[in-house]
Structure 1
Amino acid sequence: MRCVAPTGRVVQPVSYPRGEVRASDFRVVTVEVRPPGPGEVLVRNTWTSVDAALRLRLRERAPKGYFPAFLLEEPMDGIMTVGEVVESRADGFAPGDTVWHASGWRDYALVKAGTPALGGVGTLTKVDARLAPPQAHLGPLGANGLTAYAGLFHVAGLREGDVVWVSAAAGAVGSLVAQLAKIGGHRVIGSAGSDDKVRHLVADLGVDAAFNYKNGPLPDLLREAAPDGIDVYFDNVGGDHLEAALGALRRAGRVAICGMISEYGAQEPPPGPGNLMLAVTKGLTIRGFRAGEHTDLLPEMRRRMGAWLHEGRIRHRESVVDGLAQAPAALAALLRGENTGKTLVRIEDVPHRERQLPIRPPAALLN
């Protein structure tokens, strides 16, 4: 006997946005939910991720080498999600298990066990909801945490005494990078797009200096925050931010690029840095990366990140929108810079809220 309703809702794109993402670019449809086949698991999704990089796939063609563009009037595969197994025909998964996978923006997902997704980060995986709330596995204990951890410690090669600048430092990844660098004893500069976010960076996340990049010429703001220059730039923005970083980096400085949000919705490609020759004269290292290239670090990251969360050394804020149909609006708000921390959609329809994520893992997470 089926233990779930035979239908579920799915958010689908119906047009590729031109400029800002709009609700009219999507539709919510009701589809049949078939029973799982051999090796499949049926999951009732409870939380689904909203990430700025989804904008790259809302195009006729995604950037070369990136994940493919979303197909119009089809489910949007490749969005991190957590949920509860309701039916399973796959070894190792049972009804009631909490799992993460990459079939979000829908009520129910049929997921093939063992099939890699999102470079391996989104492969169907059981998570222990007793160690942290399920949605934490979409943020600090999931792909965002892995991006921050791998990018800072392995891609940028953080060294003793480094001064670190993090752009979009109030976002899901940037806020973790800033705090990880502070845990390591580094001077950290954060930038964001509003005065409220700047206050959050200083008062809540403990960065040493922060600025609103809209309040003046970016090189001048960065020079005021880091008068002696920087050694590491963690880039979430690209464009003029990367150009300012090249000017401020000291010899043998490093740039870790995980995103370029300034380009995601641009009608025309923004101009690249005009001072790239500084990479030669200063002996800089500039390296782009994705979390899926570092899945081998997941156990290490989750162990260390879990301990820091438990100790209160990492603070994680959520911007939560309730109701599956609100996922496009949540993405649009994120791209306008209206979020702080991790943007999530809670599938159930209950009132909107923004809150601090409680993390209460038992000692098992620290071992």
Structure 2
Amino acid sequence: MHTTGRQIVLAARPTGTPKSTDFRLEEVAVPEPGDGEVLLATRYLSLDPYMRGRMDDRKSYAAPTPVGGVMEGEVVAEVVRSRHPDYGIGERVLARLGWRTHAVCDGTELTKLDSRFSPVTTALGVLGMPGMTAYTGLLTIGKPQPNQTVVVAAASGPVGSMVGQIAKIKGARAVGIAGGAQKCAFVKGELGFDAVVDHRSPDFADELAAACPNGIDVYFELVGGGVWQAVMPLLNQFARVPVCGLIAQYNNSGQPEGPDRLPATMREVLSRSLTMRGFIVREFWDQRPAFVDEVSAWISDGRVRFREDIVKGFANAPEAFIGMLDGRNFGKLIVEIDED
């Protein structure tokens, strides 16, 4: 049994794109669980875009990570010692331990993982927060109808890939936006989207318009920036826009250059009776049982497919995270912890 664990803390607040020096790897003593507590060992760490926002000291829906504080994150962990009657050694749980290899917990805010989570890493992706973000945002806010057009950027990622597949299940037409030939081929060939457009193409806006001849009824916003500018002219009257991410803007250290596009956006919101609704997945937490039941069944019968990008080695988390913000991952990004 390890007596020394590791954690990764925020060493400095980044300016623009995070650097490796903004993180620090520390060794810490592994704590002993007290009465009613369990000692958890992290097996897999989820890396997600929202973590970039926690690195900044600004008002948001959650408190920022303090300098010197452990980076925020969700993990799949294993109970390695237990003094809690409800948890046995060897059980796998979902927990918010952050970027650390070991932690003591009193059993609250732990979710036991049953046989539906196979492989267990799906608890961090297709059957976890990203999958539930797609499921709740699309169905509760987007409300796709048969034969309507649903568009989503970052379509090869864990949220975007689910948005398009659920849209297809509901009878809608799914159009994905992805970066590069390999990701576009995956979205069209493996995930079964009706069309896919490469946002790196110099003719991106025209190609998106050609892929959406009947306009866009639902645009699931994950990116912002130039993609939104190409989408906006194509939105139909009464189109719905669930907003859960703006990854193109996360590394901005100030106001973007160029004209103020907000007035034009608001004019379109008014003139086309658009519905734009920002959301955080925890707002729909009561839907989690239905989400896990329904999506696990869709996985079993082959209607939902997923891809995971697993990086080995706890110490590699910062570089993997920086790469994710630049689009270098392919699928749900997860770090496999390299110790007992």
Question: Into which bin does the TM-score normalised by the smaller protein fall?
Answer: over 0.9
Q: Report the CA distance between 1:320 and its aligned residue.
A: 1.0
Summarize the alignment of residues 156-175 of structure 1 with structure 2, pairs less than 5 Å apart.
156-175=142-161
Q: Report the CA distance between 1:81 and its aligned residue.
A: 0.3
Tell me, yes or no, if the aligned pair for 2:198 and 2:204 is still in contact at 8 Å: no
Q: What are the Cα deviations for residues 52-73 of structure 1, in whole angstroms up to 9, with x where unaligned? A: 11111111x14x3322211222
Letter in 2 for 1:346: E
Equivalent position of 1:43 in the other structure? 40
Q: How large is the Cα RMSD of the aligned pairs?
A: 1.6
Summarize the alignment of residues 259-274 of structure 1 with structure 2, pairs less than 5 Å apart.
259-270=245-256, 272-273=261-262, 274=264
> TM-score if structure 2 supplies the norm length?
0.94
Tell me, yes or no, if the aligned pair for 1:9 and 1:28 is still in contact at 8 Å: yes
Q: Report the CA distance between 1:199 and its aligned residue.
A: 1.2
> TM-score if structure 1 supplies the norm length?
0.87
2:187 pairs with 1:201: yes
Tell me, yes or no, if the aligned pair for 1:172 and 1:342 is still in contact at 8 Å: yes
Letter in 2 for 1:101: A
Letter in 2 for 1:150: T
Tell me, yes or no, if the aligned pair for 1:263 and 1:269 is still in contact at 8 Å: no
Q: Work out which of the residue numbers 71, 79, 89 in structure 2 matches 1:85.
A: 79
For the residue of structure 1 that corresponds to 2:44, the secondary structure is strand
Letter in 2 for 1:41: V
2:59 pairs with 1:73: no
Q: Work out which of the residue numbers 102, 109, 128 in structure 2 matches 1:142.
A: 128
Q: Report the CA distance between 1:272 and its aligned residue.
A: 4.7
Q: Distance in 1 between matches of 2:297 and 2:236?
A: 33
Q: Work out which of the residue numbers 343, 356, 359 in structure 1 matches 2:333.
A: 343
Q: Distance in 2 between matches of 1:22 and 1:198?
A: 29
Q: Distance in 2 between matches of 1:203 and 1:23?
A: 36
2:49 pairs with 1:52: yes
Decide which moves more: 31-40 or 95-104. Answer: 31-40
Q: Distance in 2 between matches of 1:112 and 1:260?
A: 35
Q: What are the Cα deviations for residues 9-50 of structure 1, in whole angstroms up to 9, with x where unaligned? A: 111121122222222221211101111234432111100000
Equivalent position of 1:95 in the other structure? 89
Aligned residues: 335
Q: Distance in 2 between matches of 1:322 and 1:196?
A: 22
Q: Distance in 1 between matches of 2:45 and 2:311?
A: 10
- In percent, how many aligned pairs have the same letter? 37
| Structure 1 unaligned regions, length at least 5 | 115-122, 350-367
Tell me, yes or no, if the aligned pair for 2:45 and 2:75 is still in contact at 8 Å: yes
Decide which moves more: 198-207 or 267-276. Answer: 267-276
Q: Report the CA distance between 1:129 and its aligned residue.
A: 4.7
Q: Distance in 2 between matches of 1:280 and 1:131?
A: 43
Q: Work out which of the residue numbers 7, 11, 15 in structure 2 matches 1:14.
A: 11
For the residue of structure 2 that corresponds to 1:151, the secondary structure is helix
Q: Work out which of the residue numbers 86, 97, 106 in structure 1 matches 2:100.
A: 106
Tell me, yes or no, if the aligned pair for 1:15 and 1:72 is still in contact at 8 Å: yes
Q: Distance in 1 between matches of 2:54 and 2:44?
A: 21
For the residue of structure 1 that corresponds to 2:184, the secondary structure is helix
For the residue of structure 1 that corresponds to 2:130, the secondary structure is helix
For the residue of structure 2 that corresponds to 1:277, the secondary structure is helix
Q: Distance in 2 between matches of 1:294 and 1:275?
A: 27
Equivalent position of 1:363 in the other structure? none
Equivalent position of 2:276 in the other structure? 286
| Structure 2 unaligned regions, length at least 5 | none
Q: Distance in 2 between matches of 1:172 and 1:151?
A: 14
1:283/1:47 CA distance change after superposition, 3 Å: same
Equivalent position of 1:177 in the other structure? 163
Equivalent position of 1:352 in the other structure? none
